[in-house]
Amino acid sequence: MLKRELLRLKNRGIWSWAGWVECWRNEPSLQFWTLVNVASATLALWLPLAPSERALILALGVLILAAELMNTAVERVVDYISMDNHDMARKAKDLASAAVAVTAIAAGVAWLVVLIG
In a domain, residue 41? The reply is yes
Question: What are the pLDDT digits (tens) for 16-42?
Answer: 999 999 999 999 999 999 999 999 999
Question: What are the pLDDT digits (tens) for 43-55?
Answer: 999 999 999 999 9
In a domain, residue 84? The reply is yes
Number of domains in the chain: 1
Please provide the size of the chain in residues. 117
- Which domain, by its residues, includes 40? 28-116
Distance CA 60, CA 48 (A): 18
In a domain, residue 5? The reply is no
In a domain, residue 32? The reply is yes
Q: What is the CATH number of the domain that holds 76?
A: 1.10.287.3610
In a domain, residue 6? The reply is no
Provide the whole-model pTM: 0.92
In a domain, residue 14? The reply is no
Residues designated as active site:
68
In a domain, residue 23? The reply is no
Contact 57, 49 (CB under 8 A): yes
Q: List all residues 6 or more positions away from 44 whose beta carbon is below 8 Å from its beta carbon.
A: 53, 54, 57, 58
Q: What is the DSSP letter of 84?
A: S
